[in-house]
Amino acid sequence: MDKQAGIGYIEMIVVIAIIAILAGVTMVRLVPTKRTNELEGAANLVQSAVVEAREKAYSPKPSVLVDQPSDIYGYGVKLKLDSGANQEFSLFKDKVNTGTPSNQSKWSAEDEILTTYKFLDSNISNVIFKKFIKDGIDDTNLGDRSIVFQTSELTSTRKIYFDGVSSFSTVSIVLQNAQDISQTKRVTINFKSGEAKVE
């Protein structure tokens, strides 16, 4: 009897089937991990923009006089509740008219966009802004929302605004995975301390 050398067709088919099963199991486990990582990455990106706005607002003015009029009311983050695929938000400078510093209105001058962040530019494709939570109350109205840190070197005069209102204790930005609605992350801003954390 002659013995055949090498691998036969049946053995090769069995090996390919085993590899296919292992690859399928691995892919099933990687998809939720990818979704979780995208959501975490999006929340961290929003948190870093909020922290940058706070740091810019609370850093010393170029002038040595604290009470000298400035055309900057504060720095903020503008977000949009939108069901679209290309979610974005902006870090902006909230400007005012220096001609009337005694009654400055934060809406008296055009805002200056400093940076626009797009989730797709960060390889985040399935995350949307779902809602805001203001002191425990849901706000799901579509459209632009902004969080502004008023420029102030004095801790006692610092204010944070959400859509022009500073009386909140906390505001949370809720992000959701568009393909798995059970997956959410929050970026919560404490209006007393200015701290922003991912939950």
123-182, pLDDT tens digit by residue? 777 888 889 999 999 988 878 888 999 887 677 778 999 988 889 999 999 998 888 888
d(CA 104, CA 6): 85
> What is the tally of structural domains in the chain?
1
- Helix and strand numbers, DSSP H then E, in the chain: 1, 10
Does residue 23 register a pLDDT over 70? Answer: yes
In a domain, 1, yes or no: no
Average pLDDT over residues 6-15: 81
Closest CA to 184 of 124, 123, 117, 127: 127
The answer as to whether 2 is a domain residue is no
Query: Domain for residue 105, yes or no?
Result: yes
Please state, in angstroms and rounded to a whole number, the distance separating the CA atoms of residues 46 and 77.
Answer: 9
What percent of the chain has a predicted confidence (pLDDT) above 70? 79
> In this structure, is residue 4 part of a structural domain?
no
Q: Is residue 18 domain-resident?
A: yes
Interatomic CA distance for residues 137 and 159, integer angstroms: 21
Residue with tokens 């949009």: 80
Please check whether residue 81 lies inside any domain of the structure.
yes
8 Å CB contact between 7 and 16: no
In a domain, 50, yes or no: yes
- How large is the average pLDDT for residues 66-92? 77
Full residue range of the structural domain in which residue 147 is found = 9-198
